[in-house]
């Protein structure tokens, strides 16, 4: 059973650029959620995807967008990067109905200069 994998692990961008983060879900999991974790804070919900459709969204602007593919892998795209977007971006996979038993990847650390 493979776990959740994310790429890249670290990246540096400049303000105004765009970034794509990728996630491969744990085998058998059909739901993927993305969270943003600023330094010293708890993770904040960005959105969730189920069967390639957005299934809920947190308080993030439209420049945060996502995709889920038929093999349940996922992408998080952020346009027009701002300094405050610097954070650890976490992908979590789960089974529908498992409510909160999320399996997280190790995250992608984004630094915006």
The minimum distance between CB 95 and other proteins, in angstroms, equals 13
Nearer to other proteins, 18 or 27 (CB): 27
Q: Token digits for 91?
A: 């992908």
Nearer to other proteins, 7 or 17 (CB): 7
The minimum distance between CB 16 and other proteins, in angstroms, equals 27
* Alpha-helical regions (H) of the chain: none
Closest CA to 102 of 86, 113, 88, 91: 91
Q: How far apart are CA 17 and CA 10, in angstroms?
A: 16
Q: Token digits for 72?
A: 């349940």
Can you give the binding site for other proteins, defined by CB under 8 A? 4, 33, 35, 40-45, 48, 55-56, 58, 90, 92, 99-107, 109
């Amino acid at each position: 059973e493979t776990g959740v994998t994310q790429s890249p692990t670290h990246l540096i961008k400049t303000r105004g650029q765009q970034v794509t983060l990728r996630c491969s879900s744990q085998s058998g999991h059909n739901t993927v959620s993305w969270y943003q974790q600023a330094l010293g804070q708890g993770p904040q919900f960005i959105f969730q995807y189920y069967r390639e459709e957005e299934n809920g969204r947190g308080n993030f602007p439209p420049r945060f967008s996502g995709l889920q593919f038929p093999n349940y892998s996922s992408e998080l795209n952020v346009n027009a990067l701002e300094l405050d977007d610097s954070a650890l971006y976490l992908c979590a996979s789960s089974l529908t109905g498992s409510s909160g038993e999320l399996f997280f990847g190790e995250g992608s650390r984004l630094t915006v200069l």
